[in-house]
Amino acid sequence: MWERLRSIWTVPDLRNKILFTLGILLAFRVLANISVPLDHKGQLALQSLLDPTKSGLGQVFGLLDVFSGGSLDKFAIVGLAVYPYITATIVMQLLQPIIPALQSLAAQGESGRLRFSQITRMVTVPLAFLQAIGNCALYQRQGVLPNFNLFDPSYALESWTILFTLTAGVMILVWMGELITEKGIGNGISLIIFANIVSRLPNEIAQGYTSAASSGGTGIIGMVVFAVIALATILGIVYIYQGQRRIPVQYPTKRSVGRGMLVGSSQTTYIPMQVNSAGMIPLIFASSLLLFPTVISTYLTTSSVAWLKTFAIWVGVVLDPQSWWYWVVEALLVIAFTYFYAYVMWQQQNIPENLQKQGAFIPGYRPGEPTNRYLTTILNRITLGGAIFLGIVTFAQWPAGAGTGGSQIYSAASVLIAVGVVLDTVRQLEAQMVMRNYSGFLS
């Protein structure tokens, strides 16, 4: 292992890619510690808001704080992280089968992909601005930003400055992520999220150790249970993430024999159908769908309308992350969204039609509709395994303490992101080493 690591460092261009990636991530962590000025009262209110033991909003913002690497805790200028960009990407992917113009872009190759990415960045700007308004409005109600007012002449300049700063922070991170993708190693956006999650590990481990030491034997047992669940989750994610069903495909080829003679033959390859083709997207969908009513209900608990106030309080009790049924509902939603997103991505790939255009076929099945039915049946079966696994991982957050004031670092989305990014980066390093005629990083 150490010899292979040393061989990576001896390749100049690969070493430069790694150093460039680390440099961008270091600059990003510097930005994550530059905060929007808050007075002492606002800082105390922010700490109270992020406490998962006090309200459902604490669980929401506590998890978002993990994803932002503590940027929310510090109210940093990059506190929104890259999640508006991720939302814009998901929206654009869902709209692609619906809007003909987006479908035509997908068929234009590299130029179409670049134009599609440009549109995604343009959509990110208003989404980031709207999210900044929502966060600041919630902060204003919780006493974090008591002077936030976009239309009061006394506070308008300061309020608009905060909004534009948070929006610019999102776009700076998107730019940094694209620089890593282009000139570094790995997917830049994923690495930024990964750096956010990993940056919280020392703090979370220290808090867990302090809590276990103060609780005596009970705390130690809790730490052991947490470690076992986390380790089993990581091993399961690696196994499912790497799992795939390989469908054999034959492509017709012709080779020249003698002068003017062509002999037909076939080349056999395969279609890799992933067990978890949806990735972390179902987890984001399910969490957003459940957390949105919780956020809205906080605005209605102070309503002057009696029935509306009662309803808002009831919603807060039903959707309490400290209850086990909350995680059961989220697990069921994850299963449903896994199927939904897998089918959306399958329709966009349009594999049966592309095979037919290339003259390729699956042995034993005619091109066209028979091939489509066969591949759809396989998609149903392998997606069931991936969906159930994601549902189990989601529910495992409850005994691990993610919703009961325990460690926020353990969440289905954060673990899945971290493991996926590590595997993807290692594969890219392996490809770089093999391309340079080395034995490879893994083999």
The domain spanning residue 244 has which CATH number? 1.10.3370.10
Domain range for 93 is: 1-199
Q: How many domains does the chain have?
A: 2
Residue 176 forms part of a structural domain:
yes
Residue 193 forms part of a structural domain:
yes
Phi, psi torsion values for 244, nearest 5 degrees: -155, 155
Residue 90 forms part of a structural domain:
yes
pLDDT of residue 359: 80
pLDDT of residue 23: 93
Both 134 and 233 in one domain: the answer is: no
Residue 425 forms part of a structural domain:
no
What confidence tens digit (pLDDT) does each residue in 215-262 have?
665 666 767 777 777 788 788 888 888 888 888 888 776 555 555 555
Task: Out of 165, 199, 233, pick the residue that ends a domain.
Answer: 199
Lowest-confidence region among 189-198, 242-251, 291-300: 291-300
Lowest-confidence region among 15-19, 101-105, 270-274, 298-302: 298-302
Confidence bin at 179 (pLDDT 50/70/90): very high
* Strand partners of residue 267: 251
Both 216 and 262 in one domain: the answer is: yes
pLDDT of residue 349: 77
Both 184 and 305 in one domain: the answer is: no
Residue 440 forms part of a structural domain:
no
Calpha distance 60→67 (Å, rounded): 11
Both 180 and 266 in one domain: the answer is: no
Both 173 and 303 in one domain: the answer is: no
Both 5 and 90 in one domain: the answer is: yes
What SS3 state is found at 35? strand
Both 290 and 345 in one domain: the answer is: yes
Both 247 and 143 in one domain: the answer is: no
Calpha distance 176→153 (Å, rounded): 35
pLDDT of residue 168: 93
Confidence bin at 390 (pLDDT 50/70/90): confident
Confidence bin at 407 (pLDDT 50/70/90): very low
What's the angle, vertex CA 338, arms to CA 336 and CA 340, rounded to 5?
70
Both 177 and 247 in one domain: the answer is: no
Residue 105 forms part of a structural domain:
yes
User: Which of 375 and 205 is assigned the larger pLDDT?
Assistant: 375
User: Which of 177 and 8 is assigned the larger pLDDT?
Assistant: 177
Residue 432 forms part of a structural domain:
no
Residue 430 forms part of a structural domain:
no
**Helix H or strand E segment including 332:** helix 324-349
Calpha distance 307→410 (Å, rounded): 37
pLDDT of residue 406: 44
Both 262 and 348 in one domain: the answer is: yes
Confidence bin at 304 (pLDDT 50/70/90): confident
Residue 410: CA count within 13 A, CB half-sphere: 28
User: What does pLDDT average to over the chain?
Assistant: 78
* Strand partners of residue 289: none
What confidence tens digit (pLDDT) does each residue in 429-442 have?
777 777 766 555 55
Calpha distance 35→44 (Å, rounded): 15
**Mean pLDDT score, 29-36:** 86
Confidence bin at 175 (pLDDT 50/70/90): very high
What confidence tens digit (pLDDT) does each residue in 267-279 have?
778 888 888 887 7
**Mean pLDDT score, 12-34:** 88
User: Which of 351 and 160 is assigned the larger pLDDT?
Assistant: 160
Both 195 and 217 in one domain: the answer is: no
Give the percent of the chain with pLDDT over 90. Answer: 8
What confidence tens digit (pLDDT) does each residue in 338-384 have?
888 888 788 777 788 888 887 888 888 888 888 888 888 998 889 88
Provide the b/e sequence for 375-403 (b: ≥16 CB within 10 Å).
beeebeebbeebbebbbebbbbbbbbbbb
Lowest-confidence region among 43-57, 74-88, 345-359: 43-57
| 11: CB partners within 8 A, 6+ apart | 432, 433, 436, 438
